């Protein structure tokens, strides 16, 4: 059963990453009025944190779990994710990954605005 959960988590990680990248492209590529830009930014933020939650579930399901940020960044799937992330998102991803490794959750008020 654990193998099925891991496989399911991988599918979720990949699909939520794709959604995050789609919203990032929409947000950064379109010329929008202020209301539409805010809506697009909110959709991106929701997609990003859904992706981070999927990464958290995947990481916490690994045996053994990485103990440091460096160990997590060396995982092949994490390397593939990093390769796909636009440069401006990398730092946010790395920060969230570190919190995941430390088994901490970001409070909504502390999320990136």
For the segment 42-62, what is each residue's pLDDT rounded down to a tens digit?
Answer: 999 999 999 999 999 999 999
pLDDT above 50: residue 92: yes
Instruction: Determine the pLDDT at residue 40.
Output: 86
The mean-pLDDT minimum among 38-52, 55-69, 98-112 falls in: 98-112
- What is the rounded average pLDDT of the residues 62-74? 96
At residue 74 the predicted structure's pLDDT band, cuts being 50, 70 and 90, is very high
Structure tokens at 108: 């909504």
Provide the pLDDT confidence category of residue 1 given band limits of 50, 70 and 90: very low
Alpha-carbon distance of 46 to 38, in angstroms, equals 12
């Amino acid at each position: 059963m654990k193998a099925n959960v891991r496989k399911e988590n991988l599918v979720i990680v990949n699909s939520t990453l794709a959604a995050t990248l789609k919203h990032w492209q929409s947000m950064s590529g379109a010329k929008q009025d202020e209301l539409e830009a805010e809506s697009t930014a909110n959709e991106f933020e929701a997609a990003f944190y859904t992706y981070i939650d999927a990464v958290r579930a995947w990481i916490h399901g690994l045996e053994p779990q990485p103990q440091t940020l460096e160990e997590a960044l060396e995982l092949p799937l994490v390397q593939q994710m990093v390769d796909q992330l636009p440069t401006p998102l990398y730092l946010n991803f790395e920060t969230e990954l570190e919190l995941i490794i430390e088994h901490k959750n970001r409070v909504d008020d502390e999320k990136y605005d």
